[in-house]
Amino acid sequence: MCVIPAVYINYTSGGACLTSVNTNSIRMTDNGISCELNGQKIYMDPKRAAADALNFLSHGHTDHLPSGGTGRLLASKETARIASLRGTKMENHVDGMDGLEMIDAGHILGARGLLADGVFYTGDICTRERGFLPGARVPKCEVLITECTFGLPEFSLPSLDEVKVETNRIISEAYSSGRPVILMGYQLGKAQTLSHLFGHWDPLYYHDSVKKMNDLHREMGVPLRDVPGHSEVESEGLLDKGPWVMVAPMMTDRNAFVRRMRIKYNAVMVSFSGWARSPRFSFGQRGDHSVPLSDHCDYNELVKMVEDSGAKTVYTIHGFTDEFAADLCKLGYDARPLRAQSLDCFV
């Protein structure tokens, strides 16, 4: 049986005691993860910004942004700008605080994990380099709170070089037959990676929603091409002139935009998702081609991240929490899913 003791853990470095971690202070609540770190109450990616606590926002995806609240927000400068673009009010934002270290999580631009008092919260994390995004470098910690979106062994993703070779092959074959190609990935994160990796193709266009996000990334120093959005080029008749590549958000075959691109321009649709690795998840199989590419760690990278952290205690969140925790237990780690009341049995 895998057991995590709910006791104080001495976090030491070089024999000197730095602090103590009370695992009883780490809880899953209705407002997200709550814990006591550096002498203050902190919510990790809360649903609402609590007024009685510091609220850490790991990155700018909407499922990690608060829907309201007046509490103080801790996030990177990039996350603050992305969140503002997406409609989240950031008036009470700070981008740093003594005793709390934000670690580049490699997930999307501005994504951070939080390290304090020997506890590291990953947020969404990727240790794999992808274009302009460096992979996360996992810090040493005593307690690791990690996502496990792809926490099953079947999610072993191909290398970035393999993804580039396969995608360039698809585009080249489409161009040879005079067909345009639409590369689909999440509007924030995947779309910028695709824009960077395949920006050498001409002509290159962006879906309007992707252009809006890409323009913000360029303002923050990301080397993406400045090209027009689809509404502009379609109104000028440029989509009728030979093959082209467009980066667009992820959409289903039933989407009106996708149907129009197929019918009017005979476009080849290529989707990019880590879920494409497994045939068991149909939502990962979209378009004419599905290429496994993710902004998250795959299974093997998750295991290595736990190993590299040196953590004695691991809490799993988001994804295959039970399965990944069980696998970690088999490897000798004290691990369990973090859920509401999950620590009550430890007395």
Q: How far apart are CA 156 and CA 68, in angstroms?
A: 37
Domain-embedded: residue 346: no
Q: How far apart are CA 314 and CA 332, in angstroms?
A: 11
Q: Are residues 14 and 121 in the same domain?
A: yes
What's the pTM? 0.90
Distance of CA 167 to the CA centre of its chain: 21
Q: Are residues 132 and 214 in the same domain?
A: no
Q: How far apart are CA 202 and CA 107, in angstroms?
A: 28
Domain-embedded: residue 300: yes
SS3 257: helix
Domain-embedded: residue 307: yes
Q: Are residues 16 and 66 in the same domain?
A: yes
Report the CATH number that the domain containing residue 117 is assigned in CATH. 3.60.15.10
Q: Are residues 177 and 230 in the same domain?
A: yes
Q: Are residues 14 and 151 in the same domain?
A: yes
Domain-embedded: residue 3: no
Report the candidate in 214, 200, 66, 193 with the shortest Cα–Cα distance to residue 135.
193
Domain-embedded: residue 81: yes
Domain span holding position 140: 8-155+296-337
Domain-embedded: residue 33: yes
Q: Are residues 313 and 233 in the same domain?
A: no
- How would you label 283-301 residue by residue, b for 16+ Cβ within 10 Å and e otherwise? ebebbbbbbbbbbbbbbeb
Please write the tens of the pLDDT for every residue from 245-280.
999 999 998 999 999 999 999 999 999 999 998 777
Report the candidate in 59, 303, 308 with the shortest Cα–Cα distance to residue 189.
59
Domain count along the chain? 2
Give the phi and the psi of residue 290 in degrees, each rounded to 5. -120, 120
pLDDT at 21: 58
Report the CATH number that the domain containing residue 203 is assigned in CATH. 3.40.50.10890
Please write the tens of the pLDDT for every residue from 1-46.
343 333 333 333 333 233 355 666 899 999 999 999 988 999 999 9
CA distances from 54 to 275, 287, 299 (A): 34, 42, 31
Q: Are residues 112 and 34 in the same domain?
A: yes
Domain boundary, last residue among 256, 274, 291: 291
Q: pLDDT tens string for the chain (347 positions)? A: 343 333 333 333 333 233 355 666 899 999 999 999 988 999 999 999 999 999 999 999 999 999 999 999 999 999 999 999 999 999 899 999 999 999 999 999 999 999 999 999 999 999 999 999 999 999 999 999 999 999 999 999 999 999 999 999 999 999 999 999 999 999 999 999 999 999 999 999 999 999 999 999 999 999 999 999 999 999 999 999 989 999 999 999 899 999 999 999 999 999 999 999 877 776 656 789 999 999 999 999 999 999 999 999 999 999 999 999 999 999 999 999 998 754 333 22
Domain-embedded: residue 275: yes
Token pair 């082209």: residue:
244
119-121/181-184 β-pairing: unpaired
Token digits of residue 118? 């020997």
Q: Are residues 18 and 149 in the same domain?
A: yes
Alpha helices in 37-155 (DSSP H): 77-85
Q: Are residues 247 and 315 in the same domain?
A: no
Q: Are residues 184 and 241 in the same domain?
A: yes
Domain-embedded: residue 344: no
Q: Are residues 280 and 305 in the same domain?
A: no
Q: Are residues 306 and 214 in the same domain?
A: no
Q: How far apart are CA 320 and CA 148, in angstroms?
A: 6
Token digits of residue 245? 């590549």
Token pair 């993406």: residue:
224
